[in-house]
Amino acid sequence: MLSFVYAVLLAASSVAAATTTTTTSAATTASTAYSSVFAVPSIFTPYVSTNPKLETSPETGASYTVKTIKGYGEMEYYASTWKIYRDGGGSCSFSNRTMWLFNDANAYTISGDVFAGAASNSMSIATSFDHPGSLKDLTISSAVGYFPATPWWGTEESQYATSPSHRYALWTYTNCVQLSSTSAAHFFLVNKFSSATSSKQYGNTMVLYSMNESTGKITVTRPMQYAFQNTSYPYGSFANVVVNGYAYLFGLDRLYSTNLDVHLAQVSTTSISDLAKYRYWNAETQAYETTLPVPTARRKAAAVIQSSIAFSTGTVFFSEYHNAFVLIYFSSYEDSTFRLIRSPSPLGPWNTTSITLYKTKVGTAYSYGGLAHPQFYQSVAGIAGKEVMLHYSYQTSSGTYPKAVTITFA
């Protein structure tokens, strides 16, 4: 029900989005770029980065056994006069703020009987590390109305926003790429609906975030409509990690391996919007290629990870506690459960014998969109990776909303 109502009433959200500033400017890979600007409150959750090396020493032997689990329930703005259903999403840290991007956001009155508005995606800010589920909504609330955090690519996408059967949806199921203390990049899937229930994924788009600390405003820019079209791998839409100034962008082979294979691209964090500077890892030759792979069949040997269980969503980060790169993920065939694999380097070799971390409680259907959020390290002094926050999408008979959990390793 919610997705249909969202499609019918999205026209109103495009009116609210007019409160942002839309501009056109030059980009390294396109002649135009679309941007939105809006205010971010000074709610600080200090970001402490790790310093991983490309090749680490052997694992420390620290346990991957989960010692404690603490649930925080629904992630929401507790002071809101609206009840907001949303799903998917990922987190981002810059300017000592922790931001959250979610997919389809549908707002109702607290009683649940009056629809207030919707947007293709939304941005919130975390109010505390002590309660990761406590958010303040920035782009969909009774105070500001409702508008998508990520701008449409001109009328080509926005013209479909008013139709219940033909619309674009920009969704993310990953965390952003940390470029600096004030900037980040984020990859969103570009979906086009031909009916209320039928859609096609056209590829992924890149979104750039830039925080102006003096004005307290964030600029959200799309420098290109597509970063990688559906004929290639959607690098960065599955997971990413930054090492020594380089972003390692993981993408699933959805077309030919049904999400069993993970492929990898690398680019300097200073050149992330310049697609000409990307390099593509070939695990078979153990070398980078400069030409974008456009596969016509499965390239299993070239993948950085080859799994026997299909991946769904995941997060790659460096755990100082384990002295290893870890991938915490949901699988496609066994959703609702967080699992972990690890490697001494983003390039592998990845130990694909998975470790079960946490089985989520299931509502009316399976849970999905599970990610880890390592920026919540700070609650365990100086041991990054011993404690990690998880979030996932929980389905009820009324709608879907994200839940927050923190696990602590033994």
CA nearest to 252, candidates 340, 354, 331: 331
Task: Give the whole-angstrom CA distance, residue 262 versus residue 168.
Answer: 26
Residue the block writes with tokens 């940390």: 178
For each of the domains in the chain, give its residue range(s) and CATH number, in order of start. 2-404 (2.120.10)
- DSSP letter, residue 76: B
Task: Give the whole-angstrom CA distance, residue 8 versus residue 279.
Answer: 42
At 32 the pLDDT is: 80
At 46 the pLDDT is: 78
Report the SS3 class of residue 10.
helix
At 166 the pLDDT is: 80
At 375 the pLDDT is: 75
Measure the CA dihedral 48/53/57/63, to 10°: 30
Task: Dig out the tokens for 35 from the structure.
Answer: 């941007």
Task: Dig out the tokens for 192 from the structure.
Answer: 């086009």
At 78 the pLDDT is: 87
Whether the full predicted model's pTM is greater than 0.85, yes or no, is yes
Task: Give the whole-angstrom CA distance, residue 170 versus residue 190.
Answer: 5
Task: Give the whole-angstrom CA distance, residue 235 versus residue 232.
Answer: 9
Task: Give the whole-angstrom CA distance, residue 4 versus residue 2.
Answer: 5
At 174 the pLDDT is: 98
Q: Note down pLDDT in tens along the chain; length 410 residues.
A: 333 333 323 323 333 333 333 333 333 344 589 999 999 999 998 777 777 888 888 899 999 999 999 999 999 998 888 999 999 999 999 888 999 999 999 999 887 778 988 899 999 999 988 888 999 999 998 888 889 999 999 988 987 666 667 889 999 999 999 999 999 999 999 999 888 788 899 999 999 999 999 999 999 999 999 999 999 999 999 999 999 999 999 999 999 999 999 999 999 999 999 999 999 999 999 999 999 999 999 999 999 999 999 999 999 999 989 999 999 999 998 889 999 999 999 999 999 999 999 999 999 999 999 999 987 665 555 678 899 999 999 999 999 999 999 999 99
Q: Cβ distance 235 to 265 under 8 Å?
A: yes
At 188 the pLDDT is: 98
At 223 the pLDDT is: 97
Number of neighbouring beta carbons within 10 Å of residue 398: 14
Q: Cβ distance 339 to 358 under 8 Å?
A: no
Write out 114-163 in H/E/C secondary structure: CEEEEEEEEEEEECCCCCCCEEEECCEECCCEECCCCCCCHHHHHCCCCC
